[in-house]
Amino acid sequence: MNNILKNLKSNRGFAFIAVYLVISVLLIFAIVFVNQSVSQNNTVNIFKRQTAALNAADAGLDRAMVWLRTQGIPPAPGQNQIVTTLAGNLQNGTIYTVVITDLGFVGGSATIRRYMVTSTGTSGNMSRVLRNYVQVDNYARYIWYTDRETFNGTNVWFWSQDHLNGPTHTNAHFNIYGNPIFDGEARSVDDYIRFYNHGNNINLSQTTNPPYDLPVFNNGFVFGADQSTMPTTALSLRSAAASSGISLSGNTTVVLNSNGTMNVTNSNKNPPWNNKNMALPANGALFINNGSLTISGTLNGRLTAGASVDVNIPGNIVYASDPVTNPSSDDTLGIISERDIVISSNAPTNLEINACLMALNTSFYLNNWSSGSPKGTLSVYGGIIQKERGPVGTFNASTGQKISGYSKDYSYDSRLVGSPPPFMPTTGDYLTLSWEEN
């Protein structure tokens, strides 16, 4: 009997120990669970505050862009000076503070200002800082820009021998025959493309009813893009040429020289200039009033040349230092006509033009584009901006073969984004160059 009692007491002790151990383990698990829950909750709250702070900073950047666009003219307090400070309160005590700093003119331009926008978003004890570098937008950032893709009411087509290596935009819609290649982003204000063989269609991959129109958009296509309005006069160039550049009256011929000079012929001067050799204008502005400008040669320097009438191109226009092989080259040319830019019918079979070309009223085209035997390739390194698209040749719609004029090989000069030619017209908007988080 005594042994039985001893065994019961012994078992009871083991039971208490077992229960204690179980309770201890459960308490440990409970403590770990609570700690993990608290830690996870803290992590979630930190993430929420970080996200809220980031969203606030992003909202500050948007506010800054709205503010800049409503100023009328780009604010200009002086390089590396604060333009303005903006603040905003969002939900749950989240705030942003924005500082806009002027960085001055860029790339030798006298019209294109750049700004640093720093936006700090704060939620609780968490802050995030975002920074944008923006600059006044200008037409030199396009390889191709048109108000409409017609010439005297007739459709002008991109066709299979065309290659555009840069950003394009039209305030209308593109007309496509065959397989042209677009290597930069293509944008159209309209919501469709007109295909030669298939009519108006937003489908970029025709698979039935040959022949096919299959353009190649290697960097995407945007329908319904925002429309912008081209200027009708080169006001800033006119003013700069008259103040400290070169302003002439009457028909003028300019031959650019690789040594950084130019030969100028103008019969309205007294005495007349006949191949007069002179330096490029110090501020890079040359404008011809009440006359046309004929220009060709090799540019060494920075220049924008314009005319109130047509600009004629009889031969190659190239840079002394090729920016393709020499990225440090600063040779940059803008050509602006307040009417048309016309390639001479006697221009070389293969023509090279290094420039940003802008025809305000109305087109860039080849004289006698629809007649004569086929030429070779028109190579443009820079950009073409025109109100109404001008033709540089024709093709046989049945065979796709060239009948007259040039095939096109247009490559964008990426330097023109950060360093456009002097006094190029601006769009009235701002372009974001880069975005970063500090």
- Rounded average pLDDT over 121-128: 94
End-to-end CA distance of the chain: 83
Tens digit of each residue's pLDDT (9 = 90 or more) over 354-382: 999 999 999 999 999 999 889 999 999 99
Residue scoring higher pLDDT (287 or 212): 287
User: d(Cα 301, Cα 332) in Å, to the nearest integer?
Assistant: 7
For residue 26, is pLDDT > 70?
no
Q: Which domain holds residue 6?
A: 1-138
What's the pLDDT band for 7 if we cut at 50, 70, 90? low
Query: Are residues 379 and 270 part of one domain?
Result: yes
Q: Please give the backbone phi and psi of residue 49, each rounded to the nearest 5 degrees, phi first.
A: -70, -40
CA of residue 279 relative to chain centroid, distance: 32
Query: Are residues 164 and 119 part of one domain?
Result: no
* C-alpha pair distances (Å), 427 with each of 145, 160, 172: 12, 31, 17
Tens digit of each residue's pLDDT (9 = 90 or more) over 380-406: 999 999 999 999 999 888 888 899 999
Q: Which of 88, 107, 138 is the last residue of a domain?
A: 138
- Domain membership flag for residue 433: no
For residue 300, is pLDDT > 70?
yes
- Domain membership flag for residue 250: yes
- Domain membership flag for residue 323: yes
Query: Are residues 205 and 88 part of one domain?
Result: no
| Owner of token pair 């080849």 | 366
* C-alpha pair distances (Å), 184 with each of 166, 172, 219, 256, 430: 4, 18, 5, 31, 20
For residue 215, is pLDDT > 60?
yes
Q: Which of 113, 138, 163 is the last residue of a domain?
A: 138
- Rounded average pLDDT over 405-426: 91
Q: Please give the backbone phi and psi of residue 248, each rounded to the nearest 5 degrees, phi first.
A: -125, 165
- Domain membership flag for residue 230: yes
- Domain membership flag for residue 434: no
Over the chain, what is the mean pLDDT?
89
Query: Are residues 303 and 387 part of one domain?
Result: yes
Query: Are residues 75 and 129 part of one domain?
Result: yes
Burial class (CB in 10 A: 0-12, 13-18, 19+), 198: middle
Greatest pairwise CA separation for the chain in angstroms = 144
> What is residue 92's predicted lDDT score, i.e. its pLDDT?
81
What's the pLDDT band for 111 if we cut at 50, 70, 90? confident
Q: Which of 108, 138, 168 is the last residue of a domain?
A: 138
Query: Are residues 77 and 183 part of one domain?
Result: no
For residue 9, is pLDDT > 70?
no
* C-alpha pair distances (Å), 250 with each of 10, 240, 241, 423: 122, 18, 15, 22
Residue scoring higher pLDDT (6 or 321): 321
- Rounded average pLDDT over 215-228: 92
Query: Are residues 165 and 64 part of one domain?
Result: no
Closest alpha carbon to 389 in 140, 153, 141: 153
> What is residue 398's predicted lDDT score, i.e. its pLDDT?
83
- Domain membership flag for residue 294: yes
Could you give the percent of the chain with pLDDT greater than 90? Answer: 69
In this predicted structure, which of 32-41, 190-199, 202-211 has the lowest mean pLDDT? Answer: 32-41
Non-local CB neighbours of 269 within 8 Å, separated by 6+ positions: 248
> What is residue 8's predicted lDDT score, i.e. its pLDDT?
47
* C-alpha pair distances (Å), 134 with each of 59, 89, 414: 16, 24, 16
Query: Are residues 210 and 237 part of one domain?
Result: yes
Query: Are residues 316 and 174 part of one domain?
Result: yes
Query: Are residues 172 and 42 part of one domain?
Result: no
* C-alpha pair distances (Å), 303 with each of 114, 278, 342, 355, 370: 21, 14, 19, 10, 32
User: d(Cα 92, Cα 103) in Å, to the nearest integer?
Assistant: 35
Residue scoring higher pLDDT (110 or 12): 110
Query: Are residues 134 and 169 part of one domain?
Result: no
- Rounded average pLDDT over 268-295: 97
- Rounded average pLDDT over 18-30: 62
> What is residue 29's predicted lDDT score, i.e. its pLDDT?
61
- Rounded average pLDDT over 322-326: 92
Domain count for the chain, please give it. Answer: 2
- Domain membership flag for residue 437: no
What's the pLDDT band for 24 if we cut at 50, 70, 90? low
Q: Please give the backbone phi and psi of residue 357, each rounded to the nearest 5 degrees, phi first.
A: -100, 130
Query: Are residues 327 and 338 part of one domain?
Result: yes
- Domain membership flag for residue 167: yes
- Characterize the bridge pairing of strands 168-170 and 261-266: unpaired
pTM value?
0.83
- Rounded average pLDDT over 164-173: 94
